[in-house]
Structure 1
């Protein structure tokens, strides 16, 4: 019984921190609408995908149409978190998508129901392709993201790590803002600085930094937040 109470309190704390992070993002640039955000990190296993998923869910608590896209075409993970098939997804959709098509009507799109009137539209990576960078850098992908920004209240894009491949940079060019994730436990500060500078040098609109795996918390997943030079910070343990 005590364990259940602790877990419930942990979940409530996690949701509250993400609500604050959502609010910080919404008010981070008052003169511009941040409808689409990509989330990336320096290296794998720094909590990036967990941040993407939890942030998308908390946006879905407030808005009716929120789209979460897994763009880590080499190492997809969100479909595993959500326990849905990855047989069809982004790569399959892009083979036939045309400007103006209603994204909600695409067969590759999945609806995740969290209960309490919270639904999330999810697009997994889909079939493996031999040229992920070319797919992400294509005009059709750019068109798709621009259409998604028109058709959804919020679009959250989970990207591969910066030091793994360069796919996150072209994605940063087509979204409204970039959220950078680093791990208090795993991320080398010099690597993080280099990654941030590389993003800024390539024109990314860096709106926040989320710090994961902050020590001193009891739960498996705890997040802090705040906005400083680069934005916010939080914590995840995956």
Structure 2
């Protein structure tokens, strides 16, 4: 049974007082910025990471996924934060089975299998959002994400979905996002106006660039509410 898209966690606490401001509009702008970030090829698979925990990357990921179904028929959100996953909490679904379980059988993927894929639909569009949670915890997350099996899994997903968004762990905690960034079309880097240390952000960005990641731009979260948006976006000008 299809569900409607769940509201983002703590949305009611984050609403701006100004009636002129559309909270989700900033995420539609982010989606557009990602689409036009490269003129050489389509950006179909993006991963989202940050320098440290609690900088807002998972909220950015979930909201970007939700607004994307207005543009794309089939959107996939994968929670690849295998150490401290939160997407199952945001969407209020089970995390007993997810990407770590699916890795055992990459060759036979059925996106209508409700054991793995939690399907959501928005009232205002025909697009569908599929959420693949992290699944069973594994002792070696980085090795799993760097494997050929995971790369093959993403390639198979590209045949079945129009847009794929991957939630990755923060870089200064673990390096799990590095192998994921190598196989995606681009990486979005999230920083917090309140919490992020500039040196931490610089170190994390340097790590991404040294390892060949295509950094599409940065999202600045937790901006002062007197401004017009929840985040600011700084694109890669190269």
Aligned residues: 223
Change beyond 3 A, Cα 1:150–1:13? same
1:115 equivalenced with 2:115 (yes/no): no
Q: Aligned equivalents of 1:115 and 1:155: distance in 2?
A: 21
CA distance in 1, matches of 2:232, 2:227: 17
Q: What is the DSSP-based 3-state SS (H/G/I as helix, E as strand, rest coil) of the residue aligned with 1:14?
A: coil
SS at structure 2 position matched to 1:227: strand
Structure 1 residue runs of 5 or longer lacking an equivalent are 232-238
Aligned 8 A contact 1:206 1:230 in 2: no
Check conservation: 2:98, 2:136, Cα contact below 8 A.
yes
- Give secondary structure in 2 for the equivalent of 1:66: strand
Whole-Å separation in 1 of the counterparts to 2:110 and 2:20 = 31
Contact 2:78-2:166 within 8 A present in 1 as well: yes
Say what the alpha-carbon RMSD is for the aligned residues: 2.3
Question: Offset of 1:209 from its aligned partner?
Answer: 0.3
- Aligned-pair distance for 1:81? 0.6
| CA deviation vs aligned residue, 1:90-118 (integer Å, no higher than 9, x gap) | 011111121xx444144311102343335
Question: In the alignment, does 2:76 pair up with 1:75?
Answer: no
TM-score for the superposition, normalised by structure 1: 0.86
Q: Deviations over 1:92-148 (max 9, x none)?
A: 1111121xx444144311102343335310000011111111111111111001111
CA distance in 2, matches of 1:165, 1:11: 40
Q: Report the equivalent of 2:7.
A: none
- Which of 19, 27, 49 matches 1:18? 27
1:218 Cα offset (Å) = 8.5
For residue 49 of structure 2, give the secondary structure of its aligned residue in structure 1.
strand
- Asked if 1:127 is matched to 2:136, the reply is yes
Aligned equivalents of 1:80, 1:71: Cα separation in 2:
14
Question: Which deviations, in whole Å up to 9, do the C-alpha atoms of 1:22-79 show, x marking residues without a partner?
Answer: 1111111111110000000000000000000001111111111000000000101010
User: 5+ unaligned residues in a row in structure 2: which ranges?
Assistant: 1-11
Query: C-alpha distance in 1, partners of 2:224/2:16?
Result: 18
Greater helix content? 1
- TM superposition score normalised by structure 2: 0.86
